Chains A and B, each alone.
Chain A
Amino acid sequence: MARVATDITLPDRLGGWGVRWGINRMHYTVAAGLYAVGQPGSQSPVLVSANYKLTFDQLRRELAGRDVWLLLLETFGINVWCAAGKGTFGTLELINRINRTGLPTLVAHRTLIVPQLGAPGIAAHEVKKATGFKVHYGPIRAEDLPEFLDRGMEVTPAMRRARFNLRDRLVLIPVEVVQAWKPTLIICLLIVVVCAFAVRDFRFFSLLPVGLPPTVLYLVALLAGSVVTPILLPWIPGRAFSLKGAQVGLLSAILAALVMGSTWKVADLVALLFVVPAITAYFALNFTGCTTFTSLSGVEKEMRIALPVIILAFVVGVVVWTVGLLT
């Protein structure tokens, strides 16, 4: 049986920082199975979690100085909530893992503490029927575990509620920006092609003065949608993410025009007001998957309405800009 250290070392911190930036994010795992924290005995609590190392590190840090069992399910390096939604953090895996690790012979009690966010994947009554273990849903956040354990496994109402404060949103932003490389590449290629077509010259220094402003504006739109909108999310009016993003995009476009647009043609300004909000709305819509409160039905509805508008605004803007370049 592996014994777990509860101190977080520099490599742990660097690894955790890396996955937040998308580095090795899908392969950041520890082996599934049963672990000992401290010197657990037959009466020690059993905590169930996922084998995502970022989760594992947060968990063991909160368990310093305690004697508990840790049962990590094979979620292939995915966090508890997402793995529960997918079913890998699931009833069958939990039942199998209990039996394979010999947990029933190691502990005298029959209670498992499962994180509340694991509930979408675990049917507590089925686990009880198959193994005799009662699933007790513990707090959502690892940081509440010390208080939960000290209270004799009592969960306060605050521990039961999903949260999405500024810090929760901030840690999710780097991956959003890094993962935008695909649309970024497409847009940059589009800019190069249109500019080259307009100036009929493919050399870098001929393209630069024409291509630089739209490239800068794209980056402004990207940051407005995937950084500014998530940070300001609760304070931007409206409920639909695309609508929130479009407002930030429109403001950014107006600001950009005031700062750098004094010599621009009317066509450029019109294009700016269409394209920037469209791109910002798109990236804001993408942030739905990061949040703790959007539903599948809601996102489907929003996409059916917002996507055609976003695409139309984008195409209109690009056409106006191209025509402006050619005349």
Chain B
Amino acid sequence: MSPRYLKDVVTLQLDEERCSGCGMCTQVCVHGVFAVSKSIAHLVDRDACMECGACARNCPVEAVSVRSGVGCAYAVWKSWFRRKKEGGEVGSACS
């Protein structure tokens, strides 16, 4: 099994009512969070999510939502000391 981070913290949400079953989320997710069965996507491993936002960006019907960002302590630290803009997005520290 791939390494795991904290349980029950991620902001990932899937609205199964909206889902069209295209399977794009299963293609872009690097942690196998989604699986499509009976023409609908399901969250099969929500805690593996790293909130990269690939699924939400590539969902053509906007059925997926997540507060995306980088799981990087240095980036979080910098965002705490910067005046948070609207939405308070956390960027990367590597530049």
Contact = CB atoms under 8 A, between A and B. Distances in A.
Interface string B34-69: 000000000000001111111001101000000111
Q: Is the interface of A mostly helix, strand, loop or mixed?
A: helix
A293 interface: yes
Contacts of B6: 239-240, 295, 298, 301-302
Interface in A61-88: 76, 78, 81-82, 84-86
Nearest to B31: A162
B87 interface: no
Contact of B27 (A117, A137, A288, A298): A137
Interface in A233-270: 233-234, 239-241
11 contacts: A26-B95, A82-B70, A85-B52, A85-B92, A125-B60, A162-B30, A289-B74, A293-B5, A296-B68, A296-B69, A301-B9
A294 B5 contact: yes
A288 B2 contact: no
Interface residues of B, number: 43
A122 B58 contact: yes
Contacts, number: 141
Main SS class of interface, B = loop
A296 B30 contact: no
A25 to B, nearest CB: 9
A29 interface: no
Most buried by A among B29, B30, B75: B30
A155 B27 CA distance: 9
B30 A160 contact: yes
B11 interface: yes
Contacts of B76: 296, 299-300, 303
B91 interface: yes
A147 B57 CA distance: 28
Contact of B93 (A123, A239, A289, A292): A289
Nearest to B22: A125
Interface of B: 2-7, 9-11, 24, 27-32, 48-54, 57-58, 60, 67-77, 90-95
A285 B76 CA distance: 11
Nearest to A240: B6
Interface string A118-141: 011111110000000000010010
Contact of A295 (B3, B10, B54, B58): B10
A100 interface: no
B52 A299 contact: no
A161 interface: yes
Given A122-B57, A293-B3, A293-B48, A116 B73 contact: no
Given A78-B94, A288-B71, A293-B50, A161 B31 contact: yes
Interface in A269-300: 285-286, 288-300
A164 interface: yes
A297 B67 contact: yes
A95 B48 CA distance: 31
Contacts of B92: 82, 85-86, 289
B80 to A, nearest CB: 8
A160 B29 CA distance: 8
Contacts of A119: 27-28, 52, 54, 57-58
B71 A78 contact: no
A292 B58 contact: no
A162 B77 CA distance: 25
B31 A303 contact: no
- Ranked nearest first, the 8 interchain pairs of A and B with the lowest CB-CB distance are A289-B72, A294-B71, A296-B69, A119-B54, A119-B28, A162-B30, A295-B51, A298-B6
